[in-house]
């Protein structure tokens, strides 16, 4: 197998893995589990898996003040806030629609990049942003776009996650990660995030007892958390092996597989308006292609929710 074919196969596998996390999130909320309890265990499971990986690599967790600041920031804007919104959106919207809306990360990242001085304004990229917004309108406006018209009020909730992911990438691009490598940032953010989410889950009555009995939501949560950590680690490897511009193409695969898995696992179906919105949004994402510098961080937590 040639190097290029091998990298493409890896890219497809990453897209398939990340794409499965939205249908799994839909299963996780299907029997009453609420967002902060799910976010806690997502972070805790991620921290345990990353702890094993980092121990095998001989990389202890850095606990300096700058590192702890980065962990808190990434935990809040990269997981706790966006994933809480995403889990709530998954309770009311089809998983495929949530996957399509998550592909808006580069489009939200663009205006943040302009404001923060990370990128220069370009009309082509602005046109991509406009297409993305038009794609959202194709989901919201037509009467027959969603199975239940009332679910449209939850579209803004589903947009919170890509908004925060776009902000997160720009924060990292603007201020860096205190010299920490991406995998260590994810590990530290998972540990700190779990410590933040646990008391909130307990106080709100949303804590999920791990003693069981276990059902489909529990297995879905564990599987999606493990998949995210493994695929994100593979993404970091891919950036180093093939470069960020090649690796960031996984965003298209994540959306496609997210919709496909939702149809296969959850038996979802979509109106022509949703399919049209998917095409328009992905075209907009193509036009708002990140620069190589931005590409390295733009998918930092793309498959978390």
| 303 part of a folded domain | no
What Rg do the C-alpha atoms of the chain give, in angstroms?
Answer: 18
Q: Quick one: which of 297, 277, 294, 304 has its CA closest to 104?
A: 277
Question: What pLDDT is attached to residue 290?
Answer: 56
- Cβ atoms of 194 and 44 within 8 Å: the answer is yes
Q: Tell me if the bond preceding 213 is cis, omega within 30° of 0.
A: yes
| 122 part of a folded domain | yes
d(CA 23, CA 268): 10
d(CA 261, CA 15): 11
- Cβ atoms of 46 and 228 within 8 Å: the answer is yes
Per-residue pLDDT of the chain (305 residues; tens, 9 = 90+): 678 888 889 889 988 998 999 999 999 998 889 999 999 999 999 899 889 989 998 988 999 999 999 999 999 998 999 999 999 999 999 999 999 998 888 888 888 888 888 778 888 888 988 998 899 988 888 776 777 777 888 999 999 998 998 888 888 888 888 888 888 988 999 999 999 999 999 999 999 998 878 999 999 999 998 888 888 778 778 777 776 667 767 778 889 999 999 999 999 999 999 999 999 999 988 888 655 544 444 444 444 44
| 121 part of a folded domain | yes
Range of the domain at 7: 3-298
Question: What pLDDT is attached to residue 245?
Answer: 62
Overall number of domains in the chain: 1
SS3 call for 302: coil
| 61 part of a folded domain | yes
State pLDDT tens for residues 48-63. 988 998 999 898 899 9
| 54 part of a folded domain | yes
| 93 part of a folded domain | yes
pTM of the model: 0.87
| 305 part of a folded domain | no
Question: What pLDDT is attached to residue 219?
Answer: 94
Question: What pLDDT is attached to residue 38?
Answer: 94
| 273 part of a folded domain | yes
């Amino acid at each position: 197998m040639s190097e290029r074919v091998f990298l493409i196969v890896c890219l497809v596998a990453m897209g398939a893995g990340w794409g499965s996390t939205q249908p799994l999130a839909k299963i996780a909320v299907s029997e009453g589990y609420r967002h902060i309890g799910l976010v806690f265990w997502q972070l805790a499971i991620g921290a345990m898996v990353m702890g094993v990986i980092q121990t095998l690599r001989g990389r202890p967790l850095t606990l300096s003040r700058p590192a702890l600041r980065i962990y808190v920031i990434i935990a809040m804007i990269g997981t706790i806030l966006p994933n809480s919104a995403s889990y709530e959106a998954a309770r009311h919207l089809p998983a495929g629609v949530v996957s399509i809306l998550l592909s808006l990360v580069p489009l939200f990242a663009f205006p943040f990049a302009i404001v923060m001085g990370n990128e220069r304004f370009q009309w082509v990229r602005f046109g991509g942003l406009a297409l993305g917004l038009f794609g959202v309108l194709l989901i919201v406006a037509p009467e027959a776009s969603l199975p239940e018209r009332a679910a449209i009020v939850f579209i803004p909730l589903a947009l919170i996650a890509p908004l925060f992911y776009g902000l997160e990438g720009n924060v990292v691009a603007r201020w860096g990660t205190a010299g920490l490598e991406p995998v260590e940032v994810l590990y530290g953010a998972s540990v700190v995030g779990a410590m933040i989410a646990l008391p909130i889950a307990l106080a709100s009555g949303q804590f999920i007892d791990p003693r069981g009995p276990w059902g489909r939501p529990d297995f879905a949560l564990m599987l999606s958390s493990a998949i995210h950590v493994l695929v994100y680690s593979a993404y970091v490897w891919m950036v180093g092996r093939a470069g960020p511009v090649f690796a960031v193409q996984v965003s298209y695969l994540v959306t496609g597989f997210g919709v496909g898995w939702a149809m296969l696992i959850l038996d979802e179906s979509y109106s022509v308006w949703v399919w049209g919105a998917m095409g328009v949004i992905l075209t907009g994402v193509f036009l708002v292609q990140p620069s190589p510098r931005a590409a390295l961080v733009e998918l930092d937590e793309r498959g978390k929710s």
